[in-house]
Structure 1
Amino acid sequence: MTALLFLFMLINFADKVVVGLAAQPIIADLKLSPEQFGLIGSSFFFLFAISAVVVGFITNRVQTRWTLLVMAIIWSVAQFPMVGMVSLEVLIACRIVLGAGEGPAGPTATHAIYKWFPDSLRGMPTAIIAQGSALGVIVAVPALNYIIIHYSWHWAFGALGIVGLLWAVLWLVFGREGTLVDPPVGDGARGGLEHVPYRYLLTCPSIIAVCCAGFASYWGLALGLTWFTSYLVQGLGYSQEVGGNLTILPWIFGMFVVLGGGAISQRLKRSGASSRASRGIFASLTVILGGCLLPFVGSMPTPGLKLATLVVGAAVGSTIYVVIPIIVSELTPQPQRAAMLAITTSFVTLAGVTAPLAMGAVVQSAVTPMLGYERGYVILGLLLLAGGLVGLLFIRPEADRRRLAAHAVALPSLQPARA
């Protein structure tokens, strides 16, 4: 199941990155301004958050194997219209539909795998599934870039649609539902499953703080998906072939960060460290480190150093993506977990709506594209510093779990969803 969900997230992020990878050919073919291309990047996230929340509540009651299957089919179908000649409006419409299908992917996949692993063993499975995103980019970028250069950007979308359908067939044959039930948030003395009113969960300081750190990090991820290749080609002067292939660098570095960070966090937790130390402080410090590096991208003297500073600064805080679902799950009763994972994911990914548009506006208003991109990365650095500091100060899962336990209500009649 971990392997299948890893592939699920691999395809998910290959779908996301293709627009950024094909940015310059798309801009040239459709004669777009930077702001118009920024709108394409943001359009993917227009229904992303709403869909995540709606499907999250549905997945509280419906088996994840079916919601995952429907999502994969939607992704695939949304890619095929791009195989022909398309307008700006059609491209935006397809990206909106794709975003609606992919919005629930991360929280639903996480909820599904947590039905197979207890809390103390979730660090590595979460990191592996999260690295489906990085490996999706690493594996897909060379292949998609080859298709873009030798055929057209249209066929890059078509290839992703075919791969999505192949995964749907594999999942239909091999996908299964886990049976692990988490212990209650309270002391469990009342028996049965529990419910904590959503107003207490949504105002929990640890959940709010980890979402703030995640929002800042996702701002950088959204820029990477939409603008990174353009920065390499238009800003640093690389060719489409070289710039496209270099697009994998942040994802390679991020893969090692997430896997290493997930392993370190899990080892600290199993050795007796608190969740605040092993998850909150550890991940927040990596986000802060990224915020300290990014404002210096523009002052680097060579394109190679600019690239290295951007890659490290944007990816070093990626451990926060492992920590978010673990902390949310630690504080949320299992019958509400899918919805809370979806709600928190929707908040974090709202950065995807704003970040590409903001970068497009900054680039368009700057004297040179290079100056515009680098101003955008200064903004990202400041956001990372702010989000990391909020996480460092306010992620306190143990204290918040005790507070939430006081509001837990036993629900002995509530049964897990049946097939």
Structure 2
Amino acid sequence: MTAQPTPKGAWRIAFLLFLFMLLNFADKIVVGLAGVPIMTDLKLEPDQFGLLGSSFFFLFSISAIAIGFLANRIAARWVLLTLALIWALAQFPMVSNISFTTLLICRVILGAGEGPAAAVAAHAIYKWFPDEKRTLPTAVLSQGSAFGIIIAVPALNWLIVNYNWHYAFGALGVAGLIWAVAWLALGQEGPLVPASVAAAEEQRIPYFQLLTSRTFIGCCAASFGAYWALSLGFTWFTPFIVKALGFSQQQAGLISILPWIFGSVVVLMTGWISQVLMARGFSTRGARGVLGTIPLIAGGIILAFVPYVDGARLQIALLVAGSGLSGSIYVVCAPMISEFTPVSQRSAVISIYGAIYTLAGILAPSVTGNLIQNASGLFEGYMAGFTINAVILVVSGLLGLLLLWPNTERERLLGAVRQPKFA
């Protein structure tokens, strides 16, 4: 079969959505980056700061599911615009002197606005790229997260060091408004398989069968482990560098981007290798499933050595490598799910997938905060948190390796739909 051509303007939309995800992750990282000043100004204990990190995810999953179903019926262009405006407006209260409660509420609202972001962005970009060409643009979309850290962290940290942490939140609010204006002017709905056409031509599959398919479960399990590492890094990586290893806030800002630089290379390489393998005839089981899960297992093994090595540089190097490798799974899971999910149901299913794996964001910061609070020493608490992270990465990677079979999933699901109830 001849490959479907990519519509004109597809990469312009991909770039705008890349910037969308850049802002998304800059919003996530700012609390962790400003963790020490925030804890000092608001007089927070580690368990309180862990709660603050977790609060971002309180409505994250619920919002992701609700907006995911809505995006099946409303143009993704308008959903994305609304989300960006919520992000921007949720940042501005932090410009003034606020209480811990106000900061926590604003983070909950921000999390509700950001919960659907990745799934809706993926749904939007898949309207511009045919299936066989989706892995690379998905990798570019994922790079928004890495560049959101690489670009934003030095800029935000400069504001924190030279002014105060309130300015960092204000800058993110202004950036969100600028993106919303750019998207309103340049954003468009993709022309590939409009929802009305998809509904007419594709057979729907019951959501229960989609959500209990082995590939969907495998994606949730594998991504849960990766997101545990990610959300742990959002909240605790910079405070660990400052409080446990003794670096200054300015030095910590530079060190904090290292996992994201390494992770960006991993993500882009995963996207590129996946498309090369598929072009050479590999099944998506190998070119997506196996390729995305092996780095998770390797990353967990690397993190397991962190408590047993001496020297801040070596510990940082292991943390960078272990957490950076886990990003490979994000590149492959959304395309795998889209392989067997009807277009008219895709936004909802990808959103539910995101809602499930991001539950790790509620647990990781809070669990680690309590470990630090109750450990015999600050350093020992961090090491316990990193050890738990290592175990979760290995287990999630093994589950993904066992369960991810996207190349046969659609035929199996459609066969189950056509099969008589009483065979």
Asked if 1:13 is matched to 2:25, the reply is: yes
Task: Name the residue aligned to 1:175.
Answer: 187
Structure 1 contact 288–388 (Cα < 8 Å) conserved: yes
Give the one of 270, 280, 288 matched to 1:279: 288
Cα distance change of structure 1 residues 17 and 390 upon mapping to structure 2, 3 Å threshold? same
**Whole-angstrom CA distance in 2 between matches of 1:288 and 1:79:** 36
Give the one of 101, 104, 108 matched to 2:116: 104
Asked if 1:298 is matched to 2:327, the reply is: no
**Whole-angstrom CA distance in 2 between matches of 1:214 and 1:207:** 11
Shift of 1:274: 0.7
Asked if 1:259 is matched to 2:268, the reply is: yes
Structure 1 contact 194–408 (Cα < 8 Å) conserved: no
Pairwise mapping of residues 11-410 of structure 1 onto structure 2 (< 5 A)?
11-181=23-193, 192-408=201-417
Deviation string, structure 1 residues 298-338 (Cα, Å, up to 9, x no partner): 11111000000011001112110011101111110000000
**Whole-angstrom CA distance in 1 between matches of 2:36 and 2:354:** 30
Structure 2 contact 120–347 (Cα < 8 Å) conserved: yes
Q: Which segments of structure 1 move beyond 3 Å, counting only runs of 4 or more?
A: none
Structure 1 contact 79–161 (Cα < 8 Å) conserved: yes
**Whole-angstrom CA distance in 2 between matches of 1:54 and 1:46:** 14
Question: What is the percentage of aligned positions where both structures have the same residue?
Answer: 51
Structure 1 contact 118–182 (Cα < 8 Å) conserved: no
**Whole-angstrom CA distance in 2 between matches of 1:258 and 1:13:** 15
Shift of 1:194: 2.2
Structure 1-normalised TM-score? 0.95
**Whole-angstrom CA distance in 2 between matches of 1:118 and 1:393:** 27
Structure 2 contact 219–353 (Cα < 8 Å) conserved: no
**Whole-angstrom CA distance in 2 between matches of 1:387 and 1:343:** 18
**Whole-angstrom CA distance in 1 between matches of 2:408 and 2:132:** 18
Cα distance change of structure 1 residues 171 and 191 upon mapping to structure 2, 3 Å threshold? closer
**Whole-angstrom CA distance in 1 between matches of 2:200 and 2:355:** 32
Task: Name the residue aligned to 2:3.
Answer: none
**Whole-angstrom CA distance in 1 between matches of 2:110 and 2:326:** 27
Shift of 1:182: 8.8
Structure 2 contact 262–321 (Cα < 8 Å) conserved: yes
- Listed as ranges, the gaps of 5+ residues in structure 2 are 1-12, 419-423
Q: Secondary structure at the match of 1:181?
A: coil
**Whole-angstrom CA distance in 1 between matches of 2:194 and 2:340:** 11
Shift of 1:366: 1.0
Aligned residue pairs, count: 404
Structure 2-normalised TM-score? 0.94
**Whole-angstrom CA distance in 1 between matches of 2:262 and 2:34:** 22
Structure 1 contact 44–99 (Cα < 8 Å) conserved: yes
- Listed as ranges, the gaps of 5+ residues in structure 1 are 410-419
Structure 2 contact 29–235 (Cα < 8 Å) conserved: yes
**Whole-angstrom CA distance in 2 between matches of 1:109 and 1:247:** 26
**Whole-angstrom CA distance in 2 between matches of 1:346 and 1:327:** 17
Deviation string, structure 1 residues 111-153 (Cα, Å, up to 9, x no partner): 0000010111001100001000000110000110010011110
Deviation string, structure 1 residues 170-214 (Cα, Å, up to 9, x no partner): 00000000011299xxxx9x9723210001001000110111010
**Whole-angstrom CA distance in 2 between matches of 1:394 and 1:57:** 25
Task: Name the residue aligned to 1:416.
Answer: none
Of 51-60 and 395-404, more deviation after overlay is shown by: 395-404
**Whole-angstrom CA distance in 1 between matches of 2:231 and 2:85:** 23
Deviation string, structure 1 residues 52-103 (Cα, Å, up to 9, x no partner): 0000000000000000000000000000000001101000000000000000
Q: Secondary structure at the match of 2:357?
A: helix
**Whole-angstrom CA distance in 2 between matches of 1:363 and 1:233:** 14
**Whole-angstrom CA distance in 2 between matches of 1:123 and 1:193:** 22
Structure 2 contact 337–406 (Cα < 8 Å) conserved: no
Shift of 1:295: 1.1
**Whole-angstrom CA distance in 2 between matches of 1:331 and 1:89:** 43
Q: CA RMSD of the aligned region, Å?
A: 1.4
Q: Secondary structure at the match of 2:176?
A: helix
